[in-house]
A and B are shown apart, each in its own frame.
Chain A
């Protein structure tokens, strides 16, 4: 499942959905708002193209790393320090594939999905994080 939304991410539910009898490994990644002297973060998405790109990346990972299942959930809206931004969960027969697939989805998502983050601070109001994605 691919999701973009304002709701809190349930990593437990995502893990339950990717469990398979033939999978011996489940790897999860949770990205959270880091306290860099900010109040929080605002995440914006170009929703439909972002969902399409995330699904394309998920399918690439499934195929390249022989994953048995993969899910990605990205939050949007105002997030406080410590809150979850992004969760990726991958299952595979063996740990190497599950780790590699999770890492692949993370790096490709950062480079390819139309999403942006604004750091909210008390002094300047906020500034958009300089992106490196294409």
Chain B
């Protein structure tokens, strides 16, 4: 299945503003992040602690709704879902 990934601010510089990632059916948000870490140079270091835990400044939305990285990384994605990745907000 194909999942659209949008990335903003510093993550946009690493991942590109928009890309599509091909995943196995029933892949989770964590599977998608792991796939990005394996195919995009620099993303693993930017997004994960050396221990493998997601860094606390990584914020996520699925289909434009915020998800909790502590609880929702196991959420199963479906064809056409959109994941947005960005750092803490800094507008105004």
Contacts and interface: CB of A to CB of B under 8 A. Distances in A.
Interface of A: 31, 43-46, 48-50, 74, 85-86, 106, 109-118, 128-134
A114 B6 CA distance: 13
B43 interface: no
Closest A-B pairs by Cβ, 8 of them: A115-B91, A133-B89, A131-B90, A131-B88, A116-B9, A110-B92, A129-B90, A128-B9
Interface of B: 6, 8-10, 12, 59, 61, 64, 84, 86-92
Given A114-B8, A128-B9, A133 B64 contact: no
A49 B84 CA distance: 11
Contacts of A111: 89
A46 B59 CA distance: 13
A27 B64 CA distance: 32
A74 B91 contact: yes
